Structure 1
Amino acid sequence: MFSPLAHDDPESLGAHQLIARLGSGGMGTVYLGRSDTGRVVALKTMHARIAADPVFRTRFRLETDAARVIGGEHGARVFDADIVHETPWLATEYLIGPPLDDAVRLNGPLPERAVRALGARLCAALAQLHDSDVVHRDLKPSNIIVTADGPKVIDFGIARALGDDHLTRVGAAAGTPAFMSPEQAAGGEHSPAGDVFALAGVLVHAATGRGPFGMGQAADLLYRVRYAEPDLTGVPAGLFSVLLPCFAKDPLHRPTTGQLRSYLDGHEGEFVDCLPEPVLVDIARRASDVWRVEPRRLPPQAGHGMARTAAVGERERMSRRRLLMLGGGTAFGVAAAGTGAWAWLSGRGAGTPARPGPTSPAQREPTWDLLWQASSDYHDPLVPPAPLLLDRLLIVGQTELKGLSPTSGKALWPQYAEVSFQHRTATDGTLIHTLVRGHEDAASLTVCRVDPADGSVGEPLIELKDLNGELYGTQLLCATDAELYAVAGRGSQPTDSDSFRKGQTWYLLAFDLRARKKLWDVPLPARPEGSQRLHFLSAQVSGGRLVLVQQAADGATQLVVRDTGIGRLLWSRTLDSAQPTFSRARLAVDDRHVYPSAGGLLALGLDDGKVAWHYDKGPAGAAYSPPAVKDGVVYAVEAGRGVVAVDAGSGEPHWTEKGGDATAADLLAPPVVGLAYVYRNASSRLAAVDLADGGTTRPFKAAAAAHYFAHPASRRLIALGENYTAGYPLL
């Protein structure tokens, strides 16, 4: 949500000190700022490279004027602006709340009462614009902020006065295809009736979780907008007849904003009373977070200034400050991937591991060393990531799972725990679930909870008697606090067979843990007789999206994203890469993007799969490791250069590793992001790279052949090697 300032970002604009970056795009950058009086603002600036263009300056002026027209009731209040500055800027109220698309991802489709209240207030907002002869032209869920006071319309970058179309012809964006009006899609005049068309699409999205004309390539969307009927499946019956006339292809046949507002009858008192609890919780979190953020500025990239150097005593003090700063937060994030989950917990954990002191003035760097080691059954290849990580528990193994203390390596479960088969067990970072073979009825598929204290399996939570839990290829993919995602099938399995068999049918399933029932299932392709390739290599959930790496019978891999609500396919992309199959499965995901391990270092939109940015600052054709993402920064290992850190929102570089030997950098595994360092494997060592500036410390004394995973709660770097698990200090 908040990213550090770049080294060349201004200190202030007008009377506002810059605190953090909120986002950056092709036109400019948006900052979080504070005034001398303590007021929090959003500051939008224009990139210097386009500020000299009079067309873009005119567009910025129009955006500022439109923001003033909409005012504070239906938008963000304008506090200050300087459109004649060398780089024009606009300071507005910082709105506390999620964009509408994020609110829908958090909660699922909004209740009809909330949709009506939302629509009525947005009608009032558009009417205020239209009364001033201004049309928005890009109304969509991401341009509506859901606050406790009501929806706020933002981003007037292509708003304009009625009848003024000369800016459109210079090649600037003309709208978002999924929410365009037919006349706008055809390049014609976009009148207030066009905003009504877009508003109806926004309300369909709020009520169903999807747009009225689906998803896909821009050309396909533009065709459907112009010629196809809207898909109103799932729209509540009371809203169906209200919204359908808004989609008339002829703008003259659509209701006005006043008529639509009366049809919606959204006067249900306070807007906040209409909002579901998950949205209210998110608003409260954002209100708290904005006051905790402190200014932080990244150092210059390599080549832009002197690399920072420090004596070891200073480096250790700086690391402790970073750790305390990280420990001040209360956010607990879970990135579920593969057959398990990965807990990233900000906290001070179990204390800094004891380390031998320096032996001489010339040897004053920390001595990295092994803290503990335990035996475990592990062998390649393995569905990633191998361990399941909870706050105080590390689960390892393949045929028989073992519960260890991440701090000491001590066994916490009996030697013969009941839980087995790694790809049948998953955690959300707090609870552990497993698919049990033959629980009372061998032909059923049974979901049980696992006691983290001793690995014992509890009573069944969900049991499906029409699926065979004995089948090879059954998978528990990932877990959240509310849902489980699994692969299961029907058919028979010979007792001596460890492969798929002819005649089996397979499904991707979602389970509701609270209601203890199956949510949905999606058929999967049949596997040929004797195949041992699992259907999925990794899975994780982010923002109402299930992100999967699916494996075909011939071994080809594909990135697939589905809606968690009904399992609908949103988009897919072939993962063509020279990387081994299991490296391609190690993609990274945040709340906006998917960062695949194929096609270079790039970001794909989580909702539509479109390329948001493609990192091209390295040598032409450069090879990269699978990526990792944390705190708004994407990390990957570039062949010959080591770790590169780029902004997750824009793809702009933060730094490139310096001071280390990157000629033998391992590109098969993602770098591991710790508290103050990011770690990468090399041919004979493990390198620790400073998160602040890319400086490389002396290497760990650690096995290079192992797979590494961060466990921030215990401050341990977990190594998984051939038949062993080990713990090292994590800084």
Structure 2
Amino acid sequence: MLTPLTPLTPLTPLTPLSALLPLSHDDPHTLGGHRLVARLGSGGMGTVYLARSATGRTVALKTMHARIAADPAARTRFRLEVDAARVMGPVHGARVFDADPLAETPWLATEYVLGPPLDEAVSLAGPLPEPAVRALGALLCAALAQLHASDVVHRDLKPSNVMITADGPKVIDFGIARALGDDHLTRTGTAAGTPAFMSPEQATGLEHTSAGDVFALAGVLTYAASGHGPFGSGRHADLMYRVRHADPDLTGVPAALVPVLTRCLDKDPAGRPTTSGLAALLHPGQDGGSFAGHLPQPLRMEIARRVGGVWNAPPPRLPAPPEHTLTPPLPSSTPPPPSGLSRRRLLTLGGGSLLGAAAAGAGAWAWLDREDSTTAKPPAPAKDPAWDLLWQEPVSYADPRIPPAPLLLNGLLLVGEYGLKGLDPATGAAKWADPAVYFMRRTTTDGTKVYAADYTLDEADPLRVSTVDTATGKLNAPFSELKDLRAILYGTQLLCATADAVYLAGGRGTHTRDGFGKDQTWFLLKVDTRSGGRLWEVPLPARPAASPHLHFLSARAVGRHLVLVQQSADAEPRLVVHDALTGRALWDKPLQGAQPVLNRAHLAVDDRHVYPGAGELVALGLADGKPVWRFEGLTPKARFGPPAVKDGVVYAVEENRGLVALDAVTGAPRWAEKSRAVAPEDLAAPPAVGLSYVYTYAGASSGLVATDIRTGAVSHPFKAARARYFADASAGRLIAIGGEYVAAYPLA
């Protein structure tokens, strides 16, 4: 199976100066004759700075971390990126002012581009009108033609690599660009690029020619015209399959552009037009005018705003940490940036920008969306909760097989899907990151200890379960060795834990890389955390060969009951309850509903009932699964989002009504919002129940709503990205988990 080859951290000189991160105490003052002003961001490959030359020119200065620069292949790729950026030139790309790939710290100084990337532009202003798409496409054809004329292919053209400026688009990020026919930097079994915009030949690991860039350009134009890519979104493997075999989805593309883009998305490279041929098909015709004249007004305003922010005062350099501090905490007092900042900046650079652009004229997602004082406001508590971004970190939940969620325990926050990060929930500072603690689904907590199933063993080694040293992230000596179960089988899961037991799914049979094997057998087990002994074992249904569907999506142990959302081979979830003492199955029910599977996988459980997240609001008895009460809602057959339960109260969002609070024992209403529009996508996640407020996401137009936990009075909504929110009461933090980030706010 081909796996995407991660490119070098792309250069993204796009954020207005007022939103920059302060320099760290150990950042250099100058580099390559440039005075460093602030950070644009930092990631696994390097750091990008805003800097000024001796003559006052403002540049984006990209550097490579020393440990990365020690790798000759990484240095070669950096040099090729510099060469490709020079080939693209200043008209169609960011002008290269100077570079030194051979320096101890390799660096590249380019033009500081004033404009948003295309993905952010579409998020801000919606799909572009047809004349703008045609003008964009014609100019990008010219950009690629210039690159191809030097026998260089980009190989990673996508919306986030196309910057929209008043003068036209600029193509950036040449981290995996290379000369035609030169494949020595592509590892065997890898496919370099971004799956959603790969060419079929690239997804298959074959030579990516200039025709592959045309295919990617058609994907970019599809996105610009419709707001979605031609092959959808999702897991990398699914995307790469659709790129190779499925017809493109051109829904929403203007009719006149459909035949043009269809030709460019031909699976056969020979069937695609050249860049010059495509430019002729896209020529905007007789309407003329500047490129900016084709852009929607909100997008033109955003470009102007960024231009005006270049000479704002930069943030002061951070002081050195106290001598006794081993790991400096991230700053919690950095002011939130203005609107329109790129989600991509954080995801690819790991920078301190906020994630997700809000609508034009509104603040970025941590900003309070304040109305004019004359505007009527909904009822609010005497004092609205504090709301300010405290920290954020890049983290990968790019391919979730279970609902993305952190592990929360006192003083430690575990996040990530592949390779966990241990963070201080108060500051976001990294406590540890150890590849030995690898899959989130192989890790669980009882609220005090962290347990992990070792993934570093050989194929034939037995499954070993250990506690994790919460100070270092290292695996302690295993307390349980299950000799008949294999260590590295794909479907192994640590489901949940109590003070005296861990519940897990383990298997026997031959190892397979990315799914189940036909000769495997699987079991649900309970293991004593003191003796390491197996307390009981229950067989699980067989899985078809190569099936990616895990046996369980969520689990909770409450008293004598083990509550599970179990997934069938065809991915449908069921609510299953076992006797926790014996393993005997007590009852199970299908979790039927219109919501996606992961939305139905949330569990709300107390010591009496389980409250399924499958569209209706009902309490089922833990012992027998029979309905105890059912809340009908404001309208017949009203749909509800997944509920949450705390301190005897059940909270859920009702479609076309908002948040409701019910007595957990009787189902009697405590309070309810009067009425607000609730889109289907806003029913995806349960409320986050804090100390004084319940937090729910109310859509892009409203953002995050904090509701008084006693009265139901709604505070002023806060601009926020769509994410899953979790209350960490011990740290006083509201944790937001997005696809590739984690962030924290004060918890009220």
TM-score normalized by the length of structure 1: 0.50
Q: Does 1:551 align with 2:686?
A: yes
Equivalent position amino acid for 1:275 in 2? L
The partner residue of 2:39 within 13, 18, 21 is 21
Identify the residue that residue 211 of structure 2 maps to in structure 1.
193
1:162 alignment partner AA: L
Q: How much does 1:152 deviate?
A: 0.1
Instruction: Give SS of 2:320's match.
Output: coil
1:51–1:274 Cα change, 3 Å: same
Following superposition, the deviation at residue 4 of structure 1 comes to 1.4
Local SS of the residue matching 1:168: coil
8 Å Cα contact 1:394/1:403 also seen in 2: no
- Does residue 1:297 correspond to 2:317, yes or no? yes
**SS class of match (1:165):** coil
1:597 aligns to 2:729 (yes or no)? no
Aligned to 1:96: 114
Quick one: distance in 1 between partners of 2:228 and 2:154? 21
- Take 1:59 and 1:537, find their aligned partners in 2: how far apart are those partners? 58
Worse overlay, 258-267 or 56-65:
258-267
Aligned to 2:100: 82
Counterpart-to-counterpart distance in 1, 2:160 and 2:177: 15
Determine helix, strand or coil for the equivalent of 1:506. coil
Relative to structure 1, the CA distance from residue 330 to residue 344 in structure 2 (aligned partners, 3 Å threshold; closer, same or farther) is closer
Distance 2:130 2:246 in 1: 25
Alpha-carbon shift at residue 173 of structure 1 (Å): 7.1
> 1:28: Cα distance to partner?
1.4
Deviations 1:123-177 (A, max 9, x none): 0000110110000000000000000010000000000001111111178871111
Q: How far, CA to CA, are the matches of 1:171 and 1:304 in structure 2?
A: 46
SS of residue paired to 1:125: helix
For this pair of structures, how many residues does the alignment match? 434
1:110 maps onto 2:135 in alignment: no
Alpha-carbon distance between aligned partners in 2 of 1:203 and 1:12, rounded to the nearest angstrom:
40
Contact 2:127 2:224 in 1 (8 A): yes
The C-alpha deviation readout for 1:436-489, integer Å capped at 9, x for no partner, is xxxxxxxxxxxxxxxxxxxxxxxxxxxxxxxxxxxxxxxxxxxxxxxxxxxx99
Residue 246 and residue 402 in structure 1: after superposition, are their counterparts in 2 closer, same or farther (change >3 A)? closer
Unaligned ranges ≥5, structure 1: 309-321, 337-341, 348-384, 407-487, 490-496, 510-520, 553-557, 566-581, 601-621, 635-647, 653-669, 673-679, 681-706, 708-731
The aligned amino acid for 1:117 is: A
Secondary structure at the residue paired with 2:311? helix
Cα 1:71–1:549 change in 2 (3 A) is same
Question: Is 1:218 the equivalent of 2:236?
Answer: yes
Query: How far has the Cα of 1:299 moved from its partner?
Result: 2.5
Matched, 1:276 2:281: no
Which secondary structure state, in structure 1, belongs to the residue aligned with residue 310 of structure 2?
A: helix
Q: How much has 1:300 moved relative to structure 2?
A: 3.1
Q: Structure 2: how far apart are the matches of 1:215 and 1:536?
A: 34
1:204 aligns to what SS in structure 2? Answer: helix
**Other-structure match for 1:664:** none
Partner SS state of residue 224, structure 1: helix
Whether the 8 Å CA contact 2:128–2:296 is kept in 1: the answer is yes
Whole-Å separation in 2 of the counterparts to 1:540 and 1:93 = 44
Q: Deviations over 1:403-427 (max 9, x none)?
A: 9799xxxxxxxxxxxxxxxxxxxxx
Cα deviation, 1:94-127, whole Å, max 9, x if unaligned, reads: 1110000011011100000000000000000001
Specify whether residues 169 and 238 from structure 1 end up closer, same or farther in structure 2 by C-alpha distance, changes over 3 A only: same
Deviations 1:294-348 (A, max 9, x none): 242222345477999xxxxxxxxxxxxx9xx979x99799999xxxxx999999x
Q: Which of residues 270, 277, 299 in structure 2 aligns to 1:252?
A: 270
1:169 match: secondary structure: coil
Deviations 1:245-280 (A, max 9, x none): 111111111111110000001363321111111111
User: Which letter does structure 1 place at the counterpart of 2:55?
Assistant: T
CA contact (8 A) 1:158 1:173 kept: no
1:133 maps onto 2:151 in alignment: yes
Structure 1 CA distance, aligned partners of 2:373 and 2:106? 51
Matched, 1:231 2:360: no
Q: 1:156 — aligned with what? A: 174
Q: CA deviation at 1:545?
A: 13
Fraction of identical pairs, as percent: 53
2:637 corresponds to: 505
**Relative to 1, partners in 2 of residues 1:111 and 1:300: Cα closer, same or farther, differing over 3 Å?**
same
Offset of residue 538 of structure 1? 14
Q: What displacement does 1:627 show?
A: 3.6
AA at the equivalent of 1:39: R
After superposition, residues 162-561 of structure 1 pair within 5 angstroms as 162-169=180-187, 174-266=192-284, 268-303=288-323, 401=379, 499-501=631-633, 504-506=636-638, 550-551=685-686
- The whole-number CA distance in structure 2 between the counterparts of 1:404 and 1:395 is 16
Q: Residues of 2 paired with 1:201 and 1:248: CA distance?
A: 11
Alignment of 1:642-661 (within 5 A): none
1:71 to 2:89 alignment: yes
Task: Give the letter for the 1:194 counterpart.
Answer: G
Shift of 1:390: 5.3
**Is this contact kept in 2: 1:19–1:293, CA < 8 A?**
no
Q: List aligned pairs for 1:526-675, cutoff 5 A.
A: 550-551=685-686, 594=723, 596-597=725-726, 624-627=731-734, 672=746
* Structure 1 residue 81: Cα displacement: 0.5
Task: Tell me, in whole angstroms, the C-alpha distance in 1 between the residues paired with 2:181 and 2:672.
Answer: 55
> Matched residue of 1:235: which SS?
coil
Map Cα deviations across residues 542-567 of structure 1 (whole Å, 9 max, x no partner): xx997666339xxxxx99999969xx
Q: Could you tell which deviates more after superposition, 12-21 or 41-50?
A: 12-21
Q: Secondary structure at the match of 2:638?
A: strand
1:51 touches 1:57 (CA, 8 Å); kept in 2? yes
Measured in 2, the distance between the counterparts of 1:55 and 1:540 equals: 53
Alignment-mate amino acid for residue 290 of structure 2: E
Counterpart selection for 1:34 from 29, 45, 52: 52
Q: How far does the alpha carbon of each residue in 1:205-230 deviate from its partner, in whole angstroms, 9 at most, with x for none?
A: 00011111111111111111111111
Instruction: Establish whether residue 123 from structure 1 lines up as the match of residue 255 from structure 2.
Output: no
Residues 21 and 241 from structure 1, CA distance in 2 versus in 1: closer, same or farther, beyond 3 angstroms? same
Check the 8 A contact 1:588/1:595 in 2, yes or no: no
Q: Secondary structure at the match of 2:23?
A: coil
Distance 1:207 1:306, change over 3 A: closer
What is the correspondence of 1:711-730 to structure 2 with a 5 Å cutoff? none
Q: CA deviation at 1:74?
A: 0.2
Tell me the equivalent position of 1:420.
none
CA contact (8 A) 1:596 1:626 kept: no
C-alpha deviation, 1:626, in angstroms: 3.2
TM-score (structure 2 length as normaliser): 0.49
Q: 1:237 to 1:163 in 2, by over 3 A?
A: same
Tell me which residue corresponds to 1:460: none
Instruction: Give the structure 1 partner of residue 163 of structure 2.
Output: 145
Unaligned runs of 5+ in 2: 1-14, 342-353, 357-361, 385-614, 617-628, 642-654, 688-693, 702-711
Quickly say closer, same or farther: Cα 1:199–1:536, change in 2 above 3 A: farther
- 1:151 is paired with a residue of what secondary structure? strand
- Find the aligned partners of 1:345 and 1:141 in 2 and give their Cα distance: 21
Q: Which amino acid aligns with 1:506?
A: A
Please tell me whether the aligned partners of residues 118 and 266 of structure 1 are also in contact (alpha carbons under 8 angstroms). Answer: no
